[in-house]
Amino acid sequence: MPELPEVEHVVRALRLAIVGRRIVATEVRLAKLIAPTSPSAFNRKIRGSTITGVFRRGKFILIELDSDRVLVVHLRMTGKFLYLSTDDALPKHAHAIFYLDNDRRLVFRDQRKFGVMKLVARSRLSKTKGIRQLAPEPWSEDFSPVYLKATLAQSRRTLKTLLLDQTKVLGLGNIYAAEALFRAGINPFKIAAELSTKRIARLHAAILDVLRDAITDSSTSRINLEHANGFSYGEAFERFWQVYERAGEPCFKCGARIRRVTHGGRSTYWCPRCQRR
Ligand SMILES: [Zn+2]
């Protein structure tokens, strides 16, 4: 599943490829991708529009059109965009095809079929379900140490659980929650409300650092929209993981063995020495 840094990379790659292009026609082959809109209504609303920008809110990709509509896309587990020429064969699981005015096709491919697409009026965007509830963007002024402190103070959940809640703290999935807590030297099972102000400041800095590193890491340039199998989510960042998927291996800081506990299908990784309770 792509985490926020990877979605940001997809956004940047899309921006380079499709901004300024006009959508000549669309072909949706999986009705549930755009439900309750029908493929014909979707095509009617979108064809002839020019793409004016590509942005991100949380893990939602926002493709802005000159019609004052925004195509909101969530990749979920396996959704991917491909930017193909007319010569390229259409890959398997191609559920939506956008024919562009330069004879290219923007293809949405999704093996597991959990991805969603929705056309919304620009003025309604911030009220759209899923987007409305999101916590502030990590680099916005609203996501301050003061905000984080107030948010943690209200919760008796463990940090690990709370950090994954995108309505409280935005941007961390299972990988980056583990990495941020490691960098901050904080135990994942600590109760959110019990974290000291000093440690909250450290956690706040670690969250921004870990996301910034993941976004700027050069290995992420593997995201190439022109190759169907040119990248897979997660893979691009492995090199940079310090605790995630390193159970039993020595901690890079202290040499202790990284621990893992699996709960509800999700694994938590931490260093028992650097991240004491
Ligand atoms: Zn350690």
Instruction: Please write the tens of the pLDDT for every residue from 47-60.
Output: 999 999 999 999 99
Output the CA 270–ligand 1 centroid distance in Å: 8
- Euclidean distance between CA atoms 168 and 55, whole angstroms: 21
Q: How far is the CA of 267 from the centre of ligand 1 (A)?
A: 18
**Quick one: pLDDT at residue 263?**
83
pLDDT of amino acid 214: 86
Environment of ion ligand 1 (residues, CB < 5 A):
251, 253-254, 256, 271, 273-274
Closest C-alpha among 228, 182, 186 to residue 88: 228
**C-alpha 169 to ligand 1 mean position (Å):** 25
Catalytically active residues are 2-3, 59, 266
Q: What span, in angstroms and rounded, lies between the C-alpha atoms of 73 and 94?
A: 15
pTM: 0.92
Cα 35 to averaged position of ligand 1 atoms, centre (Å): 48
Residue ranges for the chain with pLDDT beneath 50: 220
Are the C-beta atoms of 175 and 241 separated by less than 8 Å?
yes
